[in-house]
Amino acid sequence: MDRRSFLAVGTFGTLGIGAAALQLSRARPADAGVTATVTSLSQLQSAINSAGPGTTITVANGSYAVPSGSPISVSGRHGTSTSPITIVAESRGGVTLTGAQSFVFANSSYVTISGFNFRQSTTLEIPTTCPRIRLTRNDLQFATAAEHWVVVRGDDVKIDRNTFHDKSTKGVYLVIDGPGTEDMAQRTYIARNYFRDHTYSGLNGGEPIRLGVSGRALSTADATVEYNLFERANGDPEAISVKSSGNTIRYNTVRSSTGGIVLRHGNNNRVESNYLLSGANGIRIYGNDHLIVNNYVGGVASAGIVLGSGTERDHYEGEPSSSRTGNDAPDRVTIVLNTLRNNTDGAINGESNRTVPPLGCQIADNLLVGDSGALVDMPYLSGITWSGNILWGNATNGNIPTSGFTRADPKLQAGSDGIYRLATGSAAINAASSTQVTDDLDGQPRTTPYDVGADEFSTQTPLRRPLTSADVGPGAA
């Protein structure tokens, strides 16, 4: 008998065919569809080390203390777009990770982390060598020693359906950075997250989301931030702080928060169909070529929209850091089809403490309603074109040019969600000339001529409404 045949027969005879197959499988990377359940960190690490496309690793429910200096390493692991590597808690929220670190990523892609309670004391980082990582349906409440909780530097990262909550110190829940000091991570997708209960006694430094930083402002990130809920986000005047270019901020709800939506640095950003309700700040704008459209700002204790002035005309490549951190005066910003209702400090306001004025900006077809103060207070008017706006209420017009508005009753009516929409006979119906969007704040189609403000009159049920906690976080659809 051939010796190799004899050894094979002997091996199968001793171990059995099933056992032999198991032994062979341990010597090769896991194939598509392989699943494993682990009950210890050592088992988890072993399973990760052999994971390949389609592998699902389930961590048994319990609390796991990650030893200092021995994090859970995800290194050199690559799934595919259709077969990611998935590391998931046995039940959503059933696994708690404590210690200095949890997962540490390196040279990996298409890896999903789902269902964990993160209670670590240092930053969770997704480095530039790790594109297409997904964090989903997790609960994050880091120890006070952690300044920034999650920092993204890799491209095509997805952060969705997580809850970030209860931070009382300086630092940011979610930072999007990039390689080097000037570039941004590309195409980050941030959706259906719940950012809540952040307090910090300093004047700034406690944002829920910081999308870039001044040195990266001219880098196009192409990030999308949508369907996120911010409640009691009181760590900074900026709930969504945009410091990069080419991003889309849409369909978010900011409620009862100090923070607003701020285009602090960068160009060509789109802020669309967001609700900012009963907080301290609305939408604030610096930089060039932004579109602000379909937003509803109601009951904030300042201006609904601030079109700022600058310390610089424009930022530029090679600019000294001393000027890069300054405010870039708005150029060619378009503010159309927004509803600004009962905000304390005027519906649209400006700033006089910086001397470089806006240029080439358009403010058109907005609905401005209020009962006190002035609806418009813009210290620099020469660089702004006004048209088609409707003003209403006991508040004064302010210094808006007479050619830029009509004072007429929009007949606003409160819905069950507290949002005021147009009623039959509204002066806003068919009164707009803007056509920058195809639907309204509620997700309903716009038909030409559009209605002034964020709402297109309809008797149908809105497709989008202000978000509640049931719409976001680990349990979201």
In tens, the pLDDT along 248-293 reads 999 999 999 999 999 999 999 999 999 999 999 999 999 999 999 9
Give CA separation, 477 vs 137, 258, 400, 401, in Å. Answer: 10, 28, 44, 47
d(CA 274, CA 150) in angstroms, rounded, equals 24
Q: Do 210 and 271 fall within a single domain?
A: yes
Q: CATH code at 160?
A: 2.160.20.10
What DSSP line would sit under 420-468, residue for residue?
EEE-TT-TTTT-----S-SB-TTSPBP-SSPPSSS----SSPPS-----
Any domain includes 287? yes
In tens, the pLDDT along 101-138 reads 999 999 999 999 999 999 999 999 999 999 999 999 99
In tens, the pLDDT along 403-418 reads 999 999 999 999 999 9
- The residue from 118, 146, 167 where one domain ends is 118
Give the structural domain span for 111.
Answer: 29-118
Yes or no: say if 175 and 148 are a contact pair by the CB < 8 Å rule: yes
Yes or no: say if 140 and 161 are a contact pair by the CB < 8 Å rule: no
Query: What mean pLDDT comes out for the span 25-41?
Result: 69
Collect all residues with Cβ–Cβ distance below 8 Å to 311 and sequence separation of at least 6. 323, 326, 327, 354, 355, 356
Neighbours of 290 (CB within 10 A): 27
Yes or no: say if 292 and 308 are a contact pair by the CB < 8 Å rule: no
The helix (run of H) or strand (run of E) holding residue 18 is helix 17-26
Predicted local distance difference test score (pLDDT) of residue 32? 55
What phi and psi values does residue 331 have, to the nearest 5 degrees?
A: -125, 135
- The residue from 118, 147, 171 where one domain ends is 118
List 363's β-bridge partners, or say none. Answer: 335, 386
Q: Do 226 and 312 fall within a single domain?
A: yes
Q: Do 302 and 394 fall within a single domain?
A: yes
d(CA 374, CA 146) in angstroms, rounded, equals 43
Q: Quick one: what percent of the chain has pLDDT higher than 90?
A: 90
Q: Select from 426, 341, 334 the least CA-distant residue to 387.
A: 334
Collect all residues with Cβ–Cβ distance below 8 Å to 399 and sequence separation of at least 6. 374, 376, 377, 378, 381
Structure tokens at 81: 């777009």
0.85 exceeded by pTM:
yes
By three-state DSSP, how is residue 294 classified? coil
Q: Do 106 and 134 fall within a single domain?
A: no
Of the candidate ranges 5-9, 173-177, 353-357, 433-437, the one whose mean pLDDT is the lowest:
5-9
CA 323 to chain centre: 27
Yes or no: say if 288 and 334 are a contact pair by the CB < 8 Å rule: no
Q: Do 136 and 108 fall within a single domain?
A: no
Any domain includes 400? yes
Q: Do 346 and 413 fall within a single domain?
A: yes
In tens, the pLDDT along 300-338 reads 999 999 999 999 999 999 998 888 999 999 999 999 999
Yes or no: say if 252 and 240 are a contact pair by the CB < 8 Å rule: yes
